[in-house]
Amino acid sequence: MSQAMAAELQQEAASTRKILERIPADKLTWKPHPKSMTLGQLGLHIAQIPAAIVGLAQLDDFDASQTNFTPAQPASHQEIIDALDKSLPTAGDYLMNMSDETARKIWRMTANGKEMLAIPRIAVLRSILLNHWYHHRGQLSVYLRMLDVPIPIIYGRSADENPFG
């Protein structure tokens, strides 16, 4: 169960790295809308998601009211790549070594003492680690398109790259 997720994380890491590498270093503070994250914040968030969510998943109970969900602004493009390089092994190791019993154990999220979510740990990892990661990666591709940065192949072809011809 979790080994399959570790393999998926590894496979998706290559596409994630390709798109993070396309972030222009001189546009880290750019954002498409006042309510949006900056390009740098989004890139760093994507890079940090694997380890951050694994850290949360290791808890039995997570109090969301005690967390600041505003992503940090990276000082450089290299900070984003370094964060990914640190994050992936942490997440991969956890997934590879998690027992089925631990994966099935209920994980709870509360806010100010009120239970917001109670689901098996493996569901946290599927939805908040992997699906959340893919969501933001797609969001990043839109940011890059708006900046006229060529989009790498993620699945199949992109409008800028075609492996088939």
Q: What is the pLDDT of residues 6-63, one digit of tens each?
A: 999 999 999 999 999 999 999 999 999 999 999 999 999 999 999 999 999 999 999 9
CATH code for the domain in which residue 124 is found? 1.20.120.450
Helix 39-57 and helix 2-21: axis angle, to 10°? Answer: 170
Q: Is residue 105 part of a domain?
A: yes
| In contact, 32 and 154? CB cutoff 8 Å | no
Q: What is the pTM of this model?
A: 0.94
Q: What is the pLDDT of residues 55-101, one digit of tens each?
A: 999 999 999 998 888 889 999 999 999 999 999 999 999 999 999 99
Q: Is residue 153 part of a domain?
A: no
Count the domains in the chain: 1
